[in-house]
C-alpha cells in the first residue's frame, strides 16, 4: 500500500477545495464563479519550496503530486494536480533519460536515429506495450496514489509535450531541423512514430482511468525556428491527428494547448486546431514579449478558454510589485473573454521563483479578477 499523504503533508482543506473546484469549473460550464483562476503551472517549484529537490519531484511521482496538492492550496490556485515533464514517451522509442539536479529529465547518450535509413527501423509500441513501459508506470504510480488518498483532486492528465520536439530528440535537434528542409519525408516518419506512441499513451491512461485530459505543447514548432507553413506541417497537423485518434480511443474531452516560445508569425494558423468544448489555448510569446491577452481574446476567445502569459523571466527576477502590475493589466484585459480566462505564466513557473511573486499573481486576481 502507498504511504499515506501525511508522510509528506497534512490533510488538504476540503472546504477550500470545494470552493476552488467551483472556480476551476467556471470557464468550462459558462458560469463564472468568485474570481479569475490562477495557474502558474506549478511543477518542481512545489517540491522545492517544501524542502525537497527538483530531482526528487521527477523521480518520486507520489511526492511530486502531493507537493502540487499542498502548494496549490498554499497559494490558492487550482484544485487539481499535475505531474509531468518534457521528453515523455521517448524511452519507449529507445532514448535514455537522465534525471538532473537542476533540470527536468534530459535525453542523453546515443540517439536511436543516427542516419535517415534508421527511421524505418523504429517500432511503435502498442497500448499493451505502453502499459508495461517506464513512462506509463510513472504516471500510474502517481495517479493511483492521488486517486486513493486525494480522490477529490484526481484528474489523470496525458502529457504530450511537443510532438515536434520529441521527434527531434530521436536524432538531435540540429539534424532534425536540417532534415525539415533537406529530407522532410524522414521528419514525417519520426513525427508519425512519436504521434502514434503518444496517442497510445493517452489511450492507455484512458483505458485505466476512464478518461485522460490532454496537455499538448507546441515548443519546437514556433516562429523562431520554422516558417508558418512548416509550423503547420510539422506541428499543428500532427496535433489534429493525435487528438482525434486519442479521443476515438477514449481520451479527453478536456484539452490544453500550450504554445511555448515565440508564435508571432504563426499564432493565427492554430485556429484550425482541433477544439473540444473544454479547451484552453495558451500562447507564450509574441516575439520577446508576453503574448498579448487582447490578441488571444480576439482570435481565440470565442473558441476556447484563454490563458495569459506573465513572462517567466519576470517571475524569477522581478519584484512582487512588478508581477502584480503586469498581472492586473492582463486580468483586466482577459476576465471578460467569452469562454473564460485563466491567469498564468508564459511557461511553467521557474522552479526557484520567489513565492512572493506567485502570491502577487493571486493577489491581483483577488483584487481585479472578481466576477
Q: Is the entire prediction scored with pTM above 0.85? A: yes
| Per-residue CA distances from 176 to 117, 138, 183, 220, 288 (Å) | 14, 28, 9, 11, 24
Q: What confidence tens digit (pLDDT) does each residue in 56-70 have?
A: 999 999 999 999 999
Residue 92 maps to which CATH number?
A: 3.20.20.210
Is the separation of the CB atoms in 322 and 310 below 8 Å?
A: no
Cα angle: 172, vertex 239, 147; to 5 degrees: 95
Residue 2 lies in a domain: no
Q: How many domains does the chain have?
A: 1
Residue 48 lies in a domain: yes
Q: What confidence tens digit (pLDDT) does each residue in 266-318 have?
A: 999 999 999 999 999 999 999 999 999 999 999 999 999 999 999 999 999 99
Model confidence at 1, pLDDT cuts 50, 70, 90, reads: very low
Percent of the chain's residues with pLDDT above 90: 92
Kind of pairing between the strands at 37-39 and 341-344: parallel
Write the burial class of residue 333 (CB in 10 Å: 0-12 exposed, 13-18 middle, 19+ buried). Answer: middle
Residue 2 has pLDDT above 90, yes or no: no
Identify the DSSP state of 235: I
pLDDT for the residue 11: 85
134-149 vs 184-209: helix axis angle to the nearest 10? 30
Cα angle: 314, vertex 283, 91; to 5 degrees: 95
pLDDT for the residue 28: 86
Residue 77 has pLDDT above 50, yes or no: yes
Residue 361 has pLDDT above 50, yes or no: yes
Structural domain that includes position 171: 32-368
Residue 10 lies in a domain: no
Residue 324, Cβ neighbours under 10 Å: how many?
21
Residue 237, Cβ neighbours under 10 Å: how many?
18
Model confidence at 6, pLDDT cuts 50, 70, 90, reads: low
Residue 14 lies in a domain: no
Q: What confidence tens digit (pLDDT) does each residue in 89-122 have?
A: 999 999 999 999 999 999 999 999 999 999 999 9
pLDDT for the residue 4: 62
Q: What confidence tens digit (pLDDT) does each residue in 179-238 have?
A: 999 999 999 999 999 999 999 999 999 999 998 899 999 899 999 999 999 999 999 999
Amino acid at each position: 500500500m502507498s504511504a499515506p499523504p501525511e508522510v509528506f503533508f497534512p490533510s488538504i482543506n476540503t472546504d477550500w477545495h470545494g470552493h476552488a473546484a467551483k472556480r476551476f469549473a467556471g470557464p468550462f460550464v459558462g458560469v463564472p464563479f468568485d474570481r479569475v483562476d490562477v495557474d502558474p503551472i506549478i511543477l518542481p517549484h512545489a517540491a522545492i519550496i517544501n524542502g525537497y529537490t527538483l530531482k526528487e519531484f521527477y523521480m518520486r511521482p507520489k511526492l511530486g503530486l502531493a507537493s502540487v496538492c499542498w502548494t496549490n492550496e498554499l497559494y490558492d490556485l487550482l484544485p487539481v494536480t499535475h505531474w509531468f515533464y518534457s521528453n515523455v514517451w521517448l524511452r519507449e522509442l529507445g532514448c535514455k533519460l537522465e534525471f538532473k539536479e537542476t533540470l527536468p529529465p534530459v535525453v542523453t547518450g546515443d540517439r536511436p536515429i543516427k542516419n535517415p535509413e534508421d527511421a524505418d527501423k523504429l517500432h511503435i509500441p502498442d497500448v499493451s506495450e505502453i502499459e508495461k513501459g517506464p513512462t506509463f508506470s510513472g504516471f500510474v504510480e502517481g495517479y493511483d496514489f492521488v486517486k486513493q488518498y486525494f480522490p477529490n483532486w484526481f484528474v489523470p492528465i496525458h502529457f504530450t509535450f511537443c510532438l515536434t520536439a520529441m521527434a527531434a530528440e530521436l536524432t538531435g535537434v540540429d539534424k532534425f531541423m536540417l532534415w525539415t528542409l533537406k529530407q522532410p519525408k524522414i521528419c514525417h516518419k519520426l513525427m508519425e512514430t512519436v504521434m502514434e506512441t503518444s496517442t497510445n499513451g493517452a489511450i492507455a491512461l484512458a483505458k485505466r482511468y476512464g478518461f485522460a485530459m490532454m496537455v499538448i505543447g507546441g515548443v519546437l514548432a514556433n516562429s523562431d525556428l520554422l516558417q508558418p507553413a512548416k509550423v503547420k506541417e510539422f506541428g499543428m497537423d500532427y496535433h489534429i491527428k493525435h487528438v482525434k485518434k486519442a479521443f476515438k480511443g477514449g481520451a479527453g474531452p478536456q484539452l490544453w494547448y500550450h504554445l511555448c516560445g515565440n508564435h508571432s508569425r504563426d499564432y493565427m494558423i492554430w485556429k484550425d486546431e482541433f477544439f473540444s468544448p473544454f479547451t484552453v489555448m495558451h500562447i507564450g510569446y509574441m516575439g520577446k514579449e508576453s503574448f498579448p491577452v487582447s490578441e488571444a481574446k480576439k482570435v481565440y476567445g470565442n473558441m476556447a478558454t484563454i490563458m495569459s502569459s506573465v513572462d517567466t523571466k519576470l517571475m524569477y527576477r522581478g519584484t512582487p510589485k512588478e508581477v502584480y502590475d503586469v498581472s492586473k493589466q492582463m486580468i483586466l484585459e482577459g476576465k471578460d473573454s467569452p469562454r473564460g480566462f485563466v491567469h498564468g505564466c508564459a511557461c511553467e513557473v521557474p522552479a526557484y521563483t520567489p513565492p512572493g511573486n506567485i502570491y502577487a499573481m493571486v493577489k491581483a486576481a483577488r483584487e481585479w479578477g472578481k466576477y
